[in-house]
Amino acid sequence: MSEYEGKQEYVRTIELPEIEVIKNKYPDKQYTAKIEYPEFSTICPKTGLPDYATIEIVYNPTEFLAELKSLKLYFVAFRDKGFFHEHFTNRIFDDFIEAVKPTWAKIEVRVNPRGGITTTIRREYPSDLER
């Protein structure tokens, strides 16, 4: 049995604060919004040590914009939870897409080096499979 067994079963269902939205007053305009959060932290589920990362989300808004205070509170909720890098990236992006409903978005997460290894995770919506 792997020492990771059962440590990530909850990643898709764990309760997190809601990402709130505000009404976009320019839904008829095509533009890009970029959100960068350089203070993200979570716990490594294997070692219990903190992982730190910068999260960058770029998106084309439609009817809604991400409300930034709620987004920060959402990010902060990860601080005491154990997530692998790829798992928290996908969870954040899924929740963001569901709340904001952009026409296009991408996320890039750059995890600070630990043990000499840096991790960067990227994802785009819609993906080639969704187009």
- Residue positions annotated with a catalytic role: 44, 51
- What residues form DSSP beta bridges with 120? 110
Let me know: does 86 contact 42? Beta carbons within 8 Å.
no
Cβ burial, residue 116 (10 Å; 0-12/13-18/19+) = exposed
Residue 91 makes CB contacts below 8 A (sequence gap 6+) with 11, 12, 16, 83
**Torsions phi, psi of 70, nearest 5?**
-65, -35
Instruction: Answer for the pair 100, 61: CB distance below 8 angstroms, yes or no.
Output: yes
Quickly count: other Cβ atoms within 10 Å of residue 54's Cβ: 15
